[in-house]
């Protein structure tokens, strides 16, 4: 794929070679994201960061990634603060904002909305999540994390054994991740969810067509026993008809230190796209795992910046220029990154 000027809307756009390109550029971004070096390659460029659904890490990491390349960020959050609340169409909003920006990141509650917006945009649009449909940049950062965790254990993505746990029906991160995993070979995938919240059938079929061994189950303890990655997800309350309906499933599959010690292999990596629901009654990923060295959730969030920097550098075609005119940072940066 030729990245310059392209929208990033779905993981279906990628071939395996594209993933390798993105990950190689992400590696190149590490010194900048880890606060060792500074680059101003996107000085003067503007990111339109448009988030019409709640977000902390995706919104802030898109913005930070752009800032770390030297660019500036203009932001809109929520419908109520934008002209969409006055009835403006996605088409008009896209025409307007793309006149003010060089690239746009967008999150919206309707499946397909970011693609509709992109078709009217005059600049590249990166999908930050469109309803329950897709979250391609999250899937890329998840895969980048899986690759680096497996590398540290002498393994690889091909042949990976992974359990995906929780709300697989509405969780867009696992939808995109499963599609992306179809570019790799010989995976064993355990889909652990209540029957009502199963992974959509077309995605399961796509994985089986890719020759992956896929099991759908309600049995957490047996199916986390022999996996490299246990990927937990939050019940996507906002996609249910009511809070009461979401309550039926909240807390159904809990991973905590005790369950981990009893059932998982000692090296199993624990992942979650975050936010985890830490309220009593939910706790799908318990805080008592915080000191477990295999808990990769904050390595995932750190990797979000690296991967998003790579995507900006690729779609704005500055990869070759990033290291030019770079310098070391001149402030105290500590040792906050693992
Ligand atoms: C996820 C999302 O928004 O889909 N969060 C994120 O972007 N890291 C997962 C979630 O909200 O549960």
Q: Are residues 29 and 93 in the same domain?
A: yes
Separation of alpha carbons 98 and 83, rounded Å: 15
**Does the residue 213 lie in any domain?**
yes
Q: Ligand 1: does its nearest atom lie under 6 Å from the Cβ of 175?
A: no
Task: Please report, in tens digits, the pLDDT of each residue of the chain (338 residues total).
Answer: 999 999 999 999 999 999 999 999 999 999 999 999 999 999 999 999 999 999 999 999 999 999 999 999 999 888 888 888 888 999 999 999 999 999 999 999 999 999 999 999 999 999 999 999 999 999 999 999 999 999 999 999 999 999 999 999 999 999 999 999 999 999 999 999 999 999 999 999 999 999 999 999 999 999 999 999 999 999 999 999 999 999 999 999 999 999 999 999 999 999 999 999 999 999 999 999 999 999 999 999 999 999 999 999 999 999 999 999 899 999 999 888 87
- Residues 189, 192, 193, 195, CA torsion sign: positive
Q: Ligand 1: does its nearest atom lie under 6 Å from the Cβ of 304?
A: no
Give the Å distances, CA to CA, from 256 to 153, 155, 259, 291. Answer: 22, 25, 5, 12
**Does the residue 128 lie in any domain?**
yes
Q: Are residues 61 and 156 in the same domain?
A: no
- Predicted TM-score of the model (pTM): 0.97
Q: Are residues 84 and 215 in the same domain?
A: no
Find the farthest-apart pair of alpha carbons in the chain and give their distance in angstroms, rounded.
Answer: 56
Q: Are residues 90 and 153 in the same domain?
A: no
**Does the residue 338 lie in any domain?**
no
Query: Domain holding 242: CATH number?
Result: 3.40.50.1370
Domain enclosing residue 34, as ranges:
11-135+303-328
**Does the residue 20 lie in any domain?**
yes
**Does the residue 337 lie in any domain?**
no
Give the total number of structural domains in the chain. Answer: 2
Q: What is the best residue among 168, 171, 273 to mutate for testing ligand 1's pocket, by most ligand atoms within 8 Å of CB?
A: 273
């Amino acid at each position: 794929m030729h990245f310059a000027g392209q929208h990033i809307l779905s993981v279906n756009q990628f071939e395996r070679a594209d993933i390798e390109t993105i990950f190689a550029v992400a590696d190149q971004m590490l010194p900048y994201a880890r606060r060792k070096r500074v680059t101003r390659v996107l000085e003067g460029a503007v990111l339109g960061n448009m988030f019409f659904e709640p977000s902390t890490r995706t919104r802030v990491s898109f913005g930070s990634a752009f800032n770390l390349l030297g660019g500036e960020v203009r932001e809109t959050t929520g419908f109520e603060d934008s002209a969409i609340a006055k009835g403006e169409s996605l088409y008009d909003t896209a025409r307007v904002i793309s006149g003010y920006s060089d690239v746009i990141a967008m999150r919206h509650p309707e499946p397909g909305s970011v693609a509709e917006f992109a078709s009217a945009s005059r600049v590249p649009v990166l999908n930050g999540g469109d309803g329950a449909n897709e979250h391609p940049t999250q899937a890329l950062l998840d895969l980048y994390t899986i690759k680096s965790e497996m590398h540290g254990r002498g393994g690889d993505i091909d042949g990976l054994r992974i359990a995906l746990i929780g709300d697989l029906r509405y969780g867009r991160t696992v939808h995109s991740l499963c599609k992306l995993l179809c570019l790799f070979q010989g995976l064993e995938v355990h889909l652990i969810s209540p029957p009502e919240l199963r992974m959509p059938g077309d995605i399961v079929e796509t994985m089986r067509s890719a020759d992956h061994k896929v099991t759908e189950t309600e049995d957490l303890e047996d199916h986390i026993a022999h996996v490299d990655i246990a990927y937990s997800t939050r019940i996507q309350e906002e996609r249910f008809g009511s809070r009461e309906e979401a309550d039926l499933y909240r807390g159904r599959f809990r991973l905590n230190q005790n369950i981990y010690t009893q059932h998982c292999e000692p090296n199993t990596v624990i992942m979650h796209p975050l936010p985890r629901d830490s309220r009593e009654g939910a706790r799908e990923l318990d805080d008592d795992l915080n000191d477990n060295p295999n808990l990769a959730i904050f390595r995932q969030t750190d990797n979000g910046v690296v991967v998003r920097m790579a995507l900006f550098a690729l779609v704005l075609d500055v990869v070759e220029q990033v290291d030019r005119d770079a310098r070391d940072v001149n402030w105290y940066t500590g040792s906050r990154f693992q």
